[in-house]
């Protein structure tokens, strides 16, 4: 029996630094993808349960994944209400206007993340509304030209994603151990929203992700939960020696009703990635009528058994939001550096996707 879990990470007032391939220390992302989360989690797992336990776990992932995980995405809590953001699928919603005069198109393209309520309506429900009064088209057009626009999309938090976190740069100085020469540089950090009004109502944001277990495994779930708590104490991402990335696991629970409706949607004809996805070989039929983006993943190894600092082999993966007509599966990618013989290094390409209903064929293939 398939079991889903919703996990929320509360970073409180702690900053985070999530570096990406090709981005310097000055820049930082506001979230981490499934491969980065997996690697950090496995490192915490091995410190708790030892090398043999992690070898057995990785062998399960290589044979038949015992759990699939999404990438992390932003959630926002206002009082007792939660808004969960999902990546906008790289395919137009049903009933999206096909005419050439799209005054709202620039606004639409900037919506990289959608609140769950709007995501569900656009991609599992009635789709894109385009009437004269109160339509998505009208509201997106007004957002382009008016600063005080309002409507259902605004009320749902569609345009609030950027206000859930703030980025800043911290000046630092590196001192050469031999010459004592100094090098001045900046490191980028993200602070998530964390406020509380005089009535005690919370208004804060953090990261969440989904887990899908193909069958109930309480022992594995407890081990993963414990390892995630340890990861929270140590920190996720970079600059951990500065206290960055520390979090508390605010929630580890079964899916609430609104999420169950989305995860168990039965009328879909396509599948939208909410994780990264890599597979050694894919047929041309699998990519037919797909809409996808490809990103390159790299970085440094973080083995607790070796003090070596080596770059992992780069691998190209399908990004979150990519849409396929059949459900993707995925594999672990072996990215062990040359000259590193301590153990294998894997990048998580095992996918997690949600069913969606779109007009077909989409003809929006994106290959970047």
What average pLDDT score do residues 241-270 get?
Answer: 94
What average pLDDT score do residues 277-299 get?
Answer: 89
**Whether residue 361 has a cis bond before it, omega within 30° of 0:** yes
The more confidently predicted of residues 124 and 1 is: 124
Q: Number of helices and strands (H, E) in the chain?
A: 8, 17
What average pLDDT score do residues 354-364 get?
Answer: 76
Cβ(151)–Cβ(114) under 8 Å?
no
DSSP 3-state percent helix, strand, coil across the chain (nearest 5): 25, 25, 50
How many whole angstroms separate alpha carbon 246 and alpha carbon 250?
13
The more confidently predicted of residues 161 and 366 is: 161
Given a cut of 60, whether residue 315 has pLDDT beyond it is: yes
327-338 tens-digit pLDDT? 999 999 988 877
Given a cut of 70, whether residue 206 has pLDDT beyond it is: yes
What average pLDDT score do residues 188-194 get?
Answer: 91
What average pLDDT score do residues 115-141 get?
Answer: 86
pTM over 0.85: yes
Rounded (10°) CA dihedral 130, 127, 322, 107: 30
Q: Which of 155-159, 290-294, 297-301 has the lowest mean pLDDT?
A: 297-301
- The pLDDT score that the predictor gives to residue 178 is 75
Q: Which of 8-17, 120-129, 334-343 has the lowest mean pLDDT?
A: 334-343
How many whole angstroms separate alpha carbon 246 and alpha carbon 240?
8
The more confidently predicted of residues 282 and 180 is: 282
For 28, 109, 192, 264, 328, the CA distances from 106, given in Å and listed in that order, are 24, 5, 26, 32, 30
- The pLDDT score that the predictor gives to residue 368 is 40
Given a cut of 70, whether residue 269 has pLDDT beyond it is: yes
- Domain extent listing, the chain: 3-163+200-356, 164-193
| Percentage above 90 pLDDT, the chain | 59
56-105 tens-digit pLDDT? 999 999 999 999 999 999 999 998 899 999 999 999 999 998 776 678 88
Cβ(304)–Cβ(47) under 8 Å?
yes
113 by DSSP, 3-state: which? strand
Given a cut of 70, whether residue 363 has pLDDT beyond it is: no
Average pLDDT value over all residues in the chain:
87
């Amino acid at each position: 029996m398939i079991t889903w879990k919703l996990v929320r990470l509360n970073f409180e007032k702690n900053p985070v630094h999530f570096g990406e391939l090709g981005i310097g220390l000055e820049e930082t992302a506001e979230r981490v993808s499934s491969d980065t989360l997996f690697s950090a989690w496995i490192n915490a797992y091995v410190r708790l349960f030892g090398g043999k336990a992690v070898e057995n776990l990785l062998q399960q992932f290589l044979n038949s994944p015992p759990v699939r995980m999404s990438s992390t995405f932003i959630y926002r809590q206002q009082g007792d209400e939660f808004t969960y953001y999902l990546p906008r699928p790289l395919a137009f919603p049903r009933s999206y206007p096909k005419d050439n005069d799209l005054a709202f198109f620039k606004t639409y393209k900037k919506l990289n993340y959608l609140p769950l309520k709007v995501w569900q309506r656009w991609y599992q429900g009635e789709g894109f509304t385009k009437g004269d009064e109160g339509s998505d088209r009208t509201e997106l057009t007004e957002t382009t030209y008016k600063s005080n626009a309002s409507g259902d999309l605004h009320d749902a938090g569609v345009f609030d994603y950027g206000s859930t976190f703030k980025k800043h740069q911290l000046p630092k100085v590196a001192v050469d151990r031999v010459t004592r020469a100094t090098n001045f540089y900046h490191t980028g950090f993200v602070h998530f929203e964390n406020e509380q009004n005089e009535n005690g109502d919370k208004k804060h944001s953090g990261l969440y992700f989904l887990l899908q277990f193909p069958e109930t495994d309480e022992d594995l779930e407890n081990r993963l939960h414990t390892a995630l708590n340890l990861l929270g104490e140590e920190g996720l991402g970079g600059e951990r020696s500065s206290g960055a990335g520390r979090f508390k696991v605010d929630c580890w629970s079964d899916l609430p009703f609104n999420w169950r409706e989305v995860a168990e949607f039965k009328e879909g004809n396509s599948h939208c990635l909410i994780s990264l996805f890599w597979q050694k070989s894919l047929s041309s039929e699998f990519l037919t009528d797909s809409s996808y983006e490809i990103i390159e993943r790299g970085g440094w190894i973080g083995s607790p058994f070796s003090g070596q600092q080596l770059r992992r082999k780069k691998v190209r993966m399908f990004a979150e939001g990519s849409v396929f007509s059949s459900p993707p599966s995925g594999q672990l990618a072996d990215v062990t550096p040359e000259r590193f013989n301590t153990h294998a290094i894997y990048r998580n390409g095992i996918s997690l996707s949600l069913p969606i209903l779109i007009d077909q064929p989409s003809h929006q293939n994106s290959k970047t």
